[in-house]
Amino acid sequence: MRGSKLRTDEIHELFARLAELNPKPTTELLHGSAFELLVAVILSAQATDVGVNKATRRLFPVANTPAAILALGEEGLKRYISSIGLYNTKATNVIAMCRQLLELHGGDVPRTREALEALPGVGRKTANVVLNTAFGEPTIAVDTHIFRVSNRTGLAPGKTVREVEDKLHRVVPPEYRLDAHHWLILHGRYTCKARVPDCPRCPIQDICRFPSKTPAAKTR
Ligand code: SF4
């Protein structure tokens, strides 16, 4: 799966091209506040953004604050999210998370990694997404797409998610760090796909070190 490492000038060029194609990238999870984003990210574990959006489009107009979701109760919340995988566990976590936000943070989403990761259902990846997308911190949440793209291209090869995250922090140029997470996710989701990457139409094909690029005839 892995290619060799990219040079600094190649990394600059890679991000310059992704930035040119999509100057203002953002998450595809629908949200209108830090709290809505936090709930959506918790619901998105092992689920698609499209599936989560379908549920939150109905949930958020009814309940989009910790107090309102607590008032729904666990069973009430499940009625909105039952189409999403692992919804039982996610409902338990979201209710416990709302309770903790009210008890410890006055109902607000905390802005520190430590406080975010202490919330039920919130791990490092979720904290990174919220810090980046809600609060503008230059964090990089490594999901399956970023892990794959970082390894295939040679941008930040690593055996574990944490190794890739740490390498990305070292190699991504500062001017691209805030949006790197979204550029890489979208690139992995729509171009550098898991099963058959769309190499013939890839904007960074000449930079990428993946040794098994898809030939044109195999992408259809
Ligand atoms: S050339 Fe292929 S493997 Fe490399 S980044 Fe593009 S789509 Fe992915």
Residue 32 in this model has a pLDDT that exceeds 90: yes
* Pocket of ligand 1, beta carbon within 6 A: 152-153, 191-192, 197-199, 202, 204-205, 208, 210, 213
Out of 145, 146, 150, 192, mutate this one to test ligand 1's pocket (max ligand atoms within 8 Å of CB): namely: 192
Distance 75 CA to ligand 1 centre (A): 44
**Residues labelled as active-site residues:** 125, 143
Q: How far apart are CA 211 and CA 195, in angstroms?
A: 15
Q: How far apart are CA 39 and CA 91, in angstroms?
A: 10
Mean pLDDT of 195-213: 96
**Predicted local confidence at residue 1, as pLDDT:** 54
Distance of CA 159 to the CA centre of its chain: 19
Question: Any residues with CB less than 8 A from the CB of 99 and at least 6 apart, and which?
Answer: 66, 70
Distance 112 CA to ligand 1 centre (A): 34
Distance 153 CA to ligand 1 centre (A): 7
**Cβ 56 vs Cβ 39: under 8 Å:** yes
Query: Which tokens is 46 given?
Result: 């092992």
181 vs 3, 141, 143, 155, 184, CA distance in Å? 20, 6, 9, 13, 5
Q: How far apart are CA 72 and CA 193, in angstroms?
A: 38
Distance 187 CA to ligand 1 centre (A): 9
Number of helices (H), then strands (E), belonging to the chain: the values are 10, 0
Of 50, 30, 48, which Cα lies nearest the Cα of 40? 30
Out of 149, 184, 199, mutate this one to test ligand 1's pocket (max ligand atoms within 8 Å of CB): namely: 199
Question: Any residues with CB less than 8 A from the CB of 69 and at least 6 apart, and which?
Answer: 39, 63, 77, 94, 95, 98
198 CA closest ligand 1 atom index = 7
Out of 11, 21, 150, 213, mutate this one to test ligand 1's pocket (max ligand atoms within 8 Å of CB): namely: 213
Distance 147 CA to ligand 1 centre (A): 13
Residue 3 in this model has a pLDDT that exceeds 80: no
Instruction: Tell me the pLDDT tens digit for each residue of 100-151.
Output: 999 999 999 999 999 999 999 999 999 999 999 999 999 999 999 999 999 9
| Percentage of residues in the chain having pLDDT higher than 90 | 94
Check the CA dihedral 108-113-119-125 and report its sign: positive
Angle at 201 between CA 197 and CA 203, to 5 degrees: 100
**Predicted local confidence at residue 19, as pLDDT:** 97
Q: How far apart are CA 62 and CA 69, in angstroms?
A: 9
Q: List the residue whose alpha carbon is closest to atom 4 of ligand 1.
A: 208
**Predicted local confidence at residue 2, as pLDDT:** 57
The helix (run of H) or strand (run of E) holding residue 124 is helix 124-133
Task: Count how many residues are written for the chain.
Answer: 220
Which pLDDT band holds residue 4 (cuts at 50, 70, 90)? Answer: confident
**Predicted local confidence at residue 207, as pLDDT:** 97
Residue 217 in this model has a pLDDT that exceeds 80: no
Instruction: Give the count of alpha carbons within 13 A of 24, CB side only.
Output: 0
